[in-house]
Amino acid sequence: MCIRDRLVTKEVLVTVESSAYAVYVGGAVLKPGKIMASQPITVIEAIMEAGGLAEGKAKASAVVVTRTEANTVRRYRLDVQAMLEGKSTLRFYLRPSDVVYVPARLF
């Protein structure tokens, strides 16, 4: 007997409750905290959602994204300054629970 013969109705209804996910932005930004993303979001977009870089305080050339994948923590160092100036075409997309840290400049 195959599965087709056992099904009473041949329709399946799938409901997605929420596709939003959280990423976290901290450090030298104006509004650090949790960002809810309902679609793919880049590291620059997340920083902008957090109010943008703290003027004169942020070291945008050394932004760190921390990501946990398969019980392994990975850190990505990104030159967001080069991205903002158009010197880099990298579009780094964030994943659920990623943590973006913008370090402060040392004077």
Question: What is the per-residue pLDDT across 28-47, written as a single tens digit (0 to 9) for each?
Answer: 999 999 999 999 999 999 99
- Return the higher-pLDDT residue of 16 and 90: 90
Q: How confident is the model at residue 81 (pLDDT cuts 50, 70, 90)?
A: very high
How many angstroms separate the Cα of 46 from the Cα of each of 17, 42, 53, 87? 23, 6, 11, 19
Mean pLDDT of 65-72: 94
Q: Could you tell me the pTM of the whole model?
A: 0.81
Asked whether 102 and 44 are in contact (CB, 8 A), the reply is no
Mean pLDDT of 87-91: 93
Cβ atoms within 10 Å, residue 55: 8
Average pLDDT of the residues of the chain: 90
Pick from 77, 75, 53: which is nearest to 66 by CA?
Answer: 75
